[in-house]
Amino acid sequence: MQTTALEKQLHFLREIDRLKTVVRQSPLLDKSRKENSAEHSWHLAMYALLLNQYASGTVDTNRVIQMLLLHDIVEIDVGDFPIHGGLSSELQAEQEWKAADRLFGLLPSPQGKELLALWQEFERAETEDAKFAKALDRFQPLLINVFTGGGTWTENGVSLEQVFSRYGPVIKRGAPLLWSVCERWVVQHFARQASEKSPGTS
Amino acid sequence: MQTTALEKQLHFLREIDRLKTVVRQSPLLDKSRKENSAEHSWHLAMYALLLNQYASGTVDTNRVIQMLLLHDIVEIDVGDFPIHGGLSSELQAEQEWKAADRLFGLLPSPQGKELLALWQEFERAETEDAKFAKALDRFQPLLINVFTGGGTWTENGVSLEQVFSRYGPVIKRGAPLLWSVCERWVVQHFARQASEKSPGTS
Ligand SMILES: [Ca+2]
């Protein structure tokens, strides 16, 4: 019996329901729980819709939104690799590319191939659209950390220098103006943290 | 002191983080918990990306995606109104239109006005894009109920006739082929439920 295009598409849509159960390191802004990758993807798509004017190059906002909607679905197979974790990024990439083949392979052709290509474009980060999408994917968790008073930085003992090196290049490349705002926030955050640690020395 | 466009946009993006805490009636497919409105919005955007070929009219998939990304943000102020709840839909609409004014009013102009217009277009459901978006917004919870063996229908004692009248017209109008699949599912679901209730009579 032949599987119809619609059956394949519905299978895929059911499969990606599991992205709602992939828990990230970042908390919600109200700190009630950790964020999951599905709602993170929704939020990033909203970032793209609202902040496209700050992209370093000329971007197609709708392509950026599509990229961000699907950029994390590989985590259904491999989980979320935290930015402050220790795993080799080569091994991570290998697992993610395999997961992308499996997941987009559930879809009818050419749809599956087109979306796989869009996912790969995001990963390669060579086009303006992908560079901006990557910048937002770094900007959103940074904003969470700043607005929750430390978040994953405090938990992982991350220093100002590490924040600059782990977030800076990617945000600056895709959205330089957003990075200049981040720099200010990050410096203020670590200054406040330092003054709280040594109240007597001020 | 003047608030810059970026400050307004970031305020809005922080505000809508709360959509992640609005809990819907529908469960996740693995039944581990109820779905929230942010991850629901993400999933619907993926439905639009994948299923646009089944729209009754000619649609702009990217506009449909944008509509679905923001269609529920009013719930930050007014909560989710369940389809099987009893509240008057006029009162609900009034509260939601007020919430939309407040939320999109946080954004700089003309961005806020444009997105408010998009939200209102979805609500009015007069354009092909909005009709298709509305159809998906009904189709996704129906699919959840079918694939979790009853979901909110079982919880609320909803009959086959009520499913047909509460979901049918909206799905059929925007995506007739998807509705014909739903009809089959729904009939099968209630037949199975009836045979489970009276095992001795078969
Ligand atoms: Ca990510």
- Domain ranges in chain A? 5-201
- For residue A40, what is the nearest residue in chain B, using CA coordinates? B39
With a cut of 90, say whether residue B180 has pLDDT above it.
yes
Q: What is the reported pLDDT for B199? A: 62
The C-alpha R_g of chain A, in whole angstroms, comes to: 18
From CA A92, how far away is CA B96, in angstroms rounded?
Answer: 44
| Mean pLDDT, residues B91-119 taken together | 96
Contact status, residue A17 vs residue B30, Cβ threshold 8 Å? yes
Contact status, residue B150 vs residue B193, Cβ threshold 8 Å? yes
CA dist B136 → B5, B50, B69, B150 (Å): 33, 11, 12, 19
With a cut of 90, say whether residue B81 has pLDDT above it.
no
Q: What is the reported pLDDT for A80? A: 81
Q: B121 C-alpha vs ligand 1 centroid, how far in Å? A: 31
Across A13-159, the runs of DSSP E, i.e. the strands, are: 23-27, 34-36
Q: What pLDDT digit, counting tens, does each position of B32-78 carry?
A: 999 999 999 999 999 999 999 999 999 999 999 999 999 999 999 99
Options 1.20.1260.10, 1.10.150.20, 3.40.190.10, 1.10.3210.10; CATH for B5-201 is: 1.10.3210.10
Whether the ipTM is more than 0.90: the answer is yes
Please state which of the ranges B27-36, B52-61, B78-87, B158-167 shows the lowest mean pLDDT: B78-87
Residues of chain A positioned with their CB less than 8 A from the CB of B29: 14, 17-18
CB contact under 8 A, B32 and A49: no
- For residue B141, what is the nearest residue in chain A, using CA coordinates? A14
Q: A175 C-alpha vs ligand 1 centroid, how far in Å? A: 17
Residues of chain A positioned with their CB less than 8 A from the CB of B32: 21
Q: What is the reported pLDDT for A90? A: 85
From CA A17, how far away is CA B43, in angstroms rounded?
Answer: 7
CB contact under 8 A, A181 and B28: no
Other beta carbons within 10 angstroms of residue A7's beta carbon come to 12
Task: Provide the b/e sequence for A15-54 (b: ≥16 CB within 10 Å).
Answer: bbbbbbbbebbbbbbeeeeebbbbbbbbbbbbbbbbbbeb
CA dist B153 → A191, B36, B161, B166, B185 (Å): 54, 18, 11, 11, 13
CB contact under 8 A, A39 and B38: yes
Smallest CA–CA separation between A200 and chain B, in Å?
A: 33
Q: What is the reported pLDDT for A57? A: 95
Contact status, residue A30 vs residue A87, Cβ threshold 8 Å? no
With a cut of 50, say whether residue B171 has pLDDT above it.
yes
User: Along chain A (202 residues), what's the average pLDDT of each consecutive run of 10 residues?
Assistant: 88 98 95 97 98 98 98 94 73 93 98 98 98 98 93 89 96 98 95 80 46
Q: What is the reported pLDDT for B79? A: 87
With a cut of 50, say whether residue B136 has pLDDT above it.
yes
Contact status, residue A145 vs residue A160, Cβ threshold 8 Å? no
CB contact under 8 A, B43 and A177: no
A196, with CB counted inside 10 A (0-12, 13-18, 19+), is: exposed
From CA B62, how far away is CA B75, in angstroms rounded?
Answer: 23
Q: What is the reported pLDDT for B166? A: 93
The C-alpha R_g of chain B, in whole angstroms, comes to: 18
| Mean pLDDT, residues B161-168 taken together | 95
User: To which H or E segment does residue A69 belong?
Assistant: helix A61-70
Contact status, residue A159 vs residue A187, Cβ threshold 8 Å? no
Beta bridge partners of A34: A27
What A90-93 contacts at long range (C-beta under 8 Å, 24+ apart), as own/partner pairs, is A93/A123
